[in-house]
Amino acid sequence: MKTKKAYSLALAAVMASSVLWGCGSSSTDPGTGAAEASDSGTKEAGGGQTLRVTVQAWMMGKYDFERIAKEFEEENPGVKVVYNQVDNVDVTSSMLEWSQGKTNCDLALGGDRSETVPYAANDYVVEFTDENFFNGDFTKDKFIESFLESGNADGVQYMIPLLGEVLGCVVNIPMMQEAGYVAEDQTVTAPADWNEMYEYAKNLTKDGQTGLAIDWGNNMAVKAYDACVMGANGNLYESDGNTLNFTAGPVKNMLQVWQDLVKDGYTTTDVFADADANRTNFKAGRVAMHIAPASRWIEAGELLGAENVGVMPIPGTDTHGSVSYIHGAVIPKASENQELAIKFIKDKLLQEQFQADSMNSYGKMSPMKAHYEKLDNPYWPTVLDFTEKATTPPLYKDYTKLDTNMQIELQKMLSGGSTVDEFSANMSKFMTTIDLSTGMNK
């Protein structure tokens, strides 16, 4: 189904500021297969096939893509896997290319469903169904539900989750132990609500050590807010079931605690100037608790020692669930190798070893339930528990505008430039000015 070109380009322009997958020119060493993928490069001399895979560059360092390429080529004689590493991709280029029935990739890895919408709305990407994907060992019940939902738009699965993230509270165990927040059985005692979290942060703050850091910065503001609202309120939305909630009593109480934490010096706003400030300070042993993607607990363990880092639920998320998101796999309809791309996803990208290696080293979560049965780190059951209860961030056409404005209003409120009531009113009014539809109208 086709829509007007003006719609495509306008939507692409909105999304272009995010880190997106797509098929573009390689910005780094293309890895397996030295030649750049071209529009017509799916067939090799002698009748072989080339599977062209576009990967966000950061992912190449977290997963053993080279090993699975070699395995896939050995298991499928005549097939060659070529990776094209990309950083920021111009969505407009892919939109124009795919609208003409052309593509220089067969499989694109990275990004979430909000970045899938411009392609899905124009019918440029493959829909994953029971017939072509969710069968055998890959029926939907084998996936973590919130991760699978993160690849779904308006009831249609356009993206297969490759890895998942969930918001949690990463903690420095020795600091928590010193403050009395580690039980005799060595489990971390989580605060029951935000009032108790304030007391935790207060008791954990001292010279050279900040009690709590929250990822309010670029690209994480809405996700961090959503996860905290889920825990405090048990629901993200106003009574209409679609508008993000800024007015509920538990939400305002949480916001007041946030403002008090900053005013009293128990947390900082450094993350507005440097998106990695909290991450850096936690790994340096200068922060006791860090609300962020839970995978940071594995990452920080490399520096602080695995035994010295743990993770606990954000207040209330042990009951209500947190917020999760994914980086996924998309297949353009213009590809002539759709079945081969699906086979690569199933046989290699969702392979237990491929997933487990990254889980153990970097905390990146597999979308497959079975992959959690043999993990050794004692905090995986805690993370899995609030992941299985998690919800997904709202899918708004103007999500990027929301994230940007929330950072502005949050920084103003946290610094004392506005009250909690004013923040609530400003954000509620802002929600009436942006497009809260999914953008999937074809």
Please report the pLDDT score of residue 369 as a whole number.
96
In the chain the first and final C-alpha atoms are separated, in Å, by 7
For residue 247, the one-letter residue type is T
163 DSSP 8-state letter: E
Tokens of 75: 């298991």
- The tokens of 41 are what? 């490069």
Amino acid at 45: A
pLDDT, tens digit, 9 for 90 and up, residues 326-336 = 999 999 999 99
Residue with tokens 């918001």: 167
pLDDT at 43: 59
**Least confident interval from 35-49, 110-124, 420-434:** 35-49
Statement: residue 126 has pLDDT above 50: yes
Q: Catalogue all structural domains in the chain, each as residue range(s) with its CATH number.
A: 49-165+326-387 (3.40.190.10), 166-324+394-432 (3.40.190.10)
| CB 320, CB 251: distance < 8 Å | no
Phi, psi of 84 (to 5 degrees): -125, 110
Q: What digits encode the pLDDT tens for the residues 134-148?
A: 999 999 999 999 999
Inter-residue contact 417 to 272 (CB < 8 Å): no
Calpha distance 222→348 (Å, rounded)? 32
Which of 181, 277, 252 is CA-nearest to residue 413? 252
pLDDT above 50 for 55: yes
Pairwise pLDDT comparison (340 vs 19), residue with the higher score: 340
Whether the Cβ atoms of residue 369 and residue 182 lie closer than 8 Å to each other: no
Q: What is the pLDDT of residues 345-365, one digit of tens each?
A: 999 999 999 999 999 999 999
Least confident segment among 65-79, 90-104, 139-153, 200-214: 90-104
Dihedral angle computed from the Cα positions of residues 69, 126, 434 and 317, in that order, rounded to the nearest 10 degrees = -60
Question: Alpha carbon 40 to chain centroid distance?
Answer: 33
* Spatial CB neighbours of 89, under 8 Å, sequence gap ≥ 6: 20, 21, 22, 23, 24
Task: Output the DSSP codes for 87-145.
Answer: SS--HHHHHHHHHTT--S-SEEE---HHHHHHHHTTT-BPPP-TTTTSSGGG-GGGB-H
Residue reference for tokens 């825990």 = 231
Average pLDDT over residues 84-88: 81
> How far is residue 216's CA from residue 230's CA, in Å, rounded to a whole number?
16
pLDDT at 86: 87
Q: For residue 325, give the 3-state DSSP assignment.
A: strand
Inter-helix orientation angle 249-263/194-204, to 10° = 10
Q: Give residue 231's pLDDT band: very low, low, confident or very high (50, 70, 90).
A: very high
What is the helix (H) or strand (E) element at residue 213, kind and residue range?
Answer: strand 210-214
Tell me how far apart the alpha carbons of residues 107 and 441 are, in angstroms, rounded to a whole number: 24
Q: What is the pTM of this model?
A: 0.88
**What is the token pair recorded at 104?**
């220089």
d(CA 266, CA 197): 11
State whether the Cα torsion 412-238-121-141 is positive or negative: positive
Q: How many secondary structure helices (H) and strands (E) does the chain include?
A: 18, 10
Confidence label for 114 from pLDDT (cuts 50, 70 and 90): confident
Helix (H) or strand (E) holding 361: helix 352-362
Least confident of 194-198, 391-395, 417-421: 391-395
Q: Are the C-beta atoms of 387 and 379 separated by less than 8 Å?
A: no
